[in-house]
Structure 1
Amino acid sequence: MKKKYEFDELVNELIEKGEGVKGLLTDMKDLSGLMVDLSYSAVLYNNDDLARAVKELEEVMDNLRYQVEVRAMLAAKTPMQATKLIGILKLASAIENIGNSAERVAEIVLRDIDIHPAVREAIREARRLIEAIEIKRGSKCAGDTIADLRKKYPGISIPALKQNGEWTIKPHDAIKVKVGDVLIVSGTRESVETVRKL
């Protein structure tokens, strides 16, 4: 349960940003898809970093759902309007459940549960490569913007960025990448491997 001052801050933030429920639901949808991709890749490559990223992104998902609930409450002026908003809250809950399922898949990796090779092969055939790449000291990516990286490596997408301990979904092109940042990079094997080695 949020403390009152935290609730007040969130309400003020939502009002100032003018972010409606539609935008929040879109963010939740994009995030749930990213979490599913990350969790499958975590299982495929037995990658603890990807699995931990899914666990961290679940907290982002929880916050987005909370914001949807707050925005819906602020939007309802009458009991009739509140009733009509129930569908939106159910949709937010359903999307969050997708994220929860992805988190459970990621836990398979973190708990070192054995996976049959046939399962890994099925995932391998279905997914593009996706990795969590930490920007190390001396990396050629440090100092580049998200737009710079997309231009240099046209085969990739960067659906998420962890910077200063905070996750950003769909990071803005103008954001500069720094040492210590974690990029979620998706694309062809060749393009993702190229970024990882820089």
Structure 2
Amino acid sequence: MTGFDEGAQPRTVDYEPRSVKDLLVEMKDTSELLIDLAYSAVLHQNDELASEVLALEEKMDVLQMRARMSLMLAVRNPKEAEALAPVLGIVAGADHVSDAAADIAKIVLDDIGLPESMRAALPEAVETLVRGTVAPASSYTGRTLEGINLESETGVRVIGIRRGDEWILNPGPETKLAAEDTVFLRGPEQRLDEVYMTLTGTEYESTEPPEPDIDDLERAVDSIILMKNLSELAVDLAYGSVLFDSDELAAEVRNLEVEVDALRSRFEAWLLGAAADADDPVALRGLIYLGVSTETISDAALDISEGVLRGLTVHPVVELAVQESDELLVRVAVEEGSDLDGTDIEAGVPVTELGMNVIAVRRPDEGWLLVSDIDLTLQPGDVLIAKGTRTSAAEFRELAVA
């Protein structure tokens, strides 16, 4: 299989005895990769990445069918049906996310219209995402990611692998690369050249994009990147709100949805002005589709968390499975005079002894700050979204309280 074949028949789906929690986690990981690949395909105008989005959408369709089967088997009475309503919200929301990601990919595949110079307007800090096939003679073939030590030596990360029809999401240190694997790499473009050559045996062809011919295109591209990041965060928090039965996380999904709506409104205002001055307004048509699809993703995140927002208790089949996981997604608010007040965050990691990773900060006067690549000092009123162990999360909450 090399990408998505529009003429292919839908895959037959049979019931598999898998836990609902495992299916939900896989759907969450698939949603995040779908969003990442779709936006990267647009920003880099890459047909190969766009085609992989459609292949990944097919995987999501299978996951949804299996999740529905498992949920139907788990319901034994009306009370359990009520408790499974939030989980059904995930299934419906995941469908909307995958459809929206596919619509974004089709902007590229159907040549709907994008400024050719978008890639030239990308900020230097934005990493490139590429797709390559592992050559049988590659020095990476048959080795684990830990053995290759790719990220430490080059800064390039493997964010996903497709092996035939199967996907390996969030590959870990023990994941072994095999010949003919389709590997998705993210990292600085200058280092991707050598990694791509070693992986595939061919040179990475990076064409020089034309200079921007639309005024302030850089600002539009910045908006697209921010919309992508906020939508991805909203989906992550939405799944977390159900998996951890957290009304705090669900409330932050609603805050993010409002932020994305406002961002889309500003983006469309820019788009109308740019179209009035453009020599070929049709070349901007794809950006209209992009704005609509972005809002669809943030709305889908809200759908996923709706059951939690409405106070419906999560079914024990999810609750018990989550208790087996040691990693939590938490929200804490920094109080004045607390131990976190004035603490520095360096590349997402608080300068504390705790094993917590801050992924986002909502600051009252600045909105959402995605902190994985920036440094900042925490201040009173900051709302932090962080990942870490169950023990560290409890201690982290205590540090936020004066």
Shorter-chain TM-score bucket reads 0.7 to 0.9
- Secondary structure at the aligned position of 1:159 is classed as strand
Matches within 5 A, 1:1-198: 7=14, 10-11=15-16, 13-14=17-18, 19=19, 21-117=20-116, 120=119, 124-125=122-123, 127-149=126-148, 151-154=149-152, 155-198=155-198
CA distance in 2, matches of 1:59, 1:191: 32
Distance 1:98 1:120, change over 3 A: farther
Distance 1:2 1:52, change over 3 A: closer
CA distance in 1, matches of 2:34, 2:63: 14
Give the superposition deviation at 1:127.
4.7
CA distance in 2, matches of 1:153, 1:191: 11
CA distance in 2, matches of 1:63, 1:99: 12
- Secondary structure at the aligned position of 1:88 is classed as helix
Distance 1:38 1:22, change over 3 A: same
Give the superposition deviation at 1:36.
1.2
Q: Give the residue type in structure 2 aligned to 1:84.
A: A
Contact kept? 1:32, 1:96, Cα under 8 Å: no
Contact kept? 1:54, 1:106, Cα under 8 Å: yes
CA distance in 2, matches of 1:109, 1:22: 34
- Secondary structure at the aligned position of 1:130 is classed as strand
Of structures 1 and 2, the one with the larger relative CO (CA 8 A, separation 6+) is 1
CA distance in 2, matches of 1:120, 1:100: 25
Distance 1:106 1:61, change over 3 A: same
Structure 1 alignment gaps of length 5 or more: none
Structure 2 alignment gaps of length 5 or more: 1-9, 199-402
Contact kept? 1:51, 1:106, Cα under 8 Å: yes
Contact kept? 1:43, 1:120, Cα under 8 Å: no
Give the superposition deviation at 1:50.
0.6
- Secondary structure at the aligned position of 1:132 is classed as strand
CA-atom RMSD, angstroms? Answer: 2.5
Contact kept? 2:44, 2:118, Cα under 8 Å: no
Judging by fraction of residues, say which structure has more helix: 1
Equivalence for 2:333 = none
Give the superposition deviation at 1:101.
0.8
Q: Give the residue type in structure 2 aligned to 1:174.
A: E
**TM-score normalised per structure 2:** 0.42
Contact kept? 1:153, 1:191, Cα under 8 Å: no
Deviation digits for residues 13-46 of structure 1 (CA, Å, limit 9, x no counterpart): 32xxxx3x23322222221121111111112222
Count of paired positions:
186
Distance 1:166 1:2, change over 3 A: closer
CA distance in 2, matches of 1:145, 1:130: 21
Q: Give the residue type in structure 1 aligned to 2:40.
A: S
Contact kept? 1:35, 1:54, Cα under 8 Å: yes
Contact kept? 1:32, 1:98, Cα under 8 Å: yes
Contact kept? 2:142, 2:176, Cα under 8 Å: yes
Contact kept? 1:134, 1:180, Cα under 8 Å: yes
CA distance in 2, matches of 1:101, 1:48: 17
Deviation digits for residues 151-182 of structure 1 (CA, Å, limit 9, x no counterpart): 13322332321113322222353332222110
CA distance in 1, matches of 2:54, 2:151: 28
CA distance in 2, matches of 1:190, 1:153: 14
**TM-score normalised per structure 1:** 0.80
Contact kept? 2:150, 2:156, Cα under 8 Å: no
Distance 1:2 1:39, change over 3 A: closer
